[in-house]
Amino acid sequence: MNIISKSYNPELVEWRNVTDPECNEIKVDFDYSLLGYDIELGRLDMLLRYANLSHCRRHRHVASTLTMVLEGEQHLTEWQQDGSKKFILRKKGDYALAGADALPHDERGGENGGVVLLSMCAPNGILFEYFDKNMENGWTLSIKEFVDNWEKGLIYGQKP
């Protein structure tokens, strides 16, 4: 396991900011920090931080994912297979575990933001699938791409 940060304290980790000015329907503006990874085992641990009501990109987790809310809140809108939406609210201290191939969703922080820990296991190496504003035209992100982007100082998950 390659450890990038020995702490999950939001005051001690290196943060990188992601925005998407082309996205008009939600405010994509969040920070992330890589904590550690093992490409061969398919494991990656990271932190996400949302400012007040800001969102991450629309996506689904291809990897099995443990989520723990460390600060604030995490709000999710999950697209169900029948086309309906399910709303999920997680508060500080809440824990969730999702299997591989989770449903597509939009997530954001609460009114006072939020920080979450994600610990992902992806035996096939794929972490996420991202979507355009119509929840179509998906593209994936692997652990190797994530780590390569981190090492180069780039932002992960940009559309190719």
| 95: CATH | 2.60.120.10
Q: What is the pLDDT of residue 19?
A: 79
> What is the mean predicted confidence (pLDDT) over 65-69?
96
Q: Which alpha helices (DSSP H) does 11-157 contain, by range?
A: 143-152
Cβ atoms of residues 21 and 9 within 8 Å: no
Q: Which alpha helices (DSSP H) does 25-93 contain, by range?
A: none
pTM, entire model: 0.88
Q: How many of the other CB atoms lie within 10 Å of CB of 124? A: 12
The yes-or-no verdict on residue 159 having pLDDT over 70 is no
> What is the mean predicted confidence (pLDDT) over 7-22?
86
The yes-or-no verdict on residue 157 having pLDDT over 70 is no
> What is the mean predicted confidence (pLDDT) over 39-53?
92
Q: What is the pLDDT of residue 2?
A: 93
Q: How many of the other CB atoms lie within 10 Å of CB of 91? A: 12
Structure tokens belonging to residue 125: 């190496």
Cβ atoms of residues 97 and 65 within 8 Å: yes
159 belongs to a structural domain: no
125 belongs to a structural domain: yes
6 belongs to a structural domain: no
47 belongs to a structural domain: yes
Domain that holds residue 86: 14-152
3 belongs to a structural domain: no
Backbone φ and ψ for 145, nearest 5 degrees, come out as: -65, -40
- By mean pLDDT, which of 49-63, 81-95, 96-110 is the weakest? 49-63
115 belongs to a structural domain: yes
Give strand ranges (E) for 16-91: 16-19, 29-38, 43-50, 59-61, 64-79, 85-91
- By mean pLDDT, which of 55-59, 62-66, 87-91 is the weakest? 55-59
30 belongs to a structural domain: yes
Q: What is the pLDDT of residue 56?
A: 78
Give residue 37's pLDDT band: very low, low, confident or very high (50, 70, 90). very high
28 belongs to a structural domain: yes
Segment (H or E) for 2: strand 2-3
If one counts the domains in the chain, the total is 1
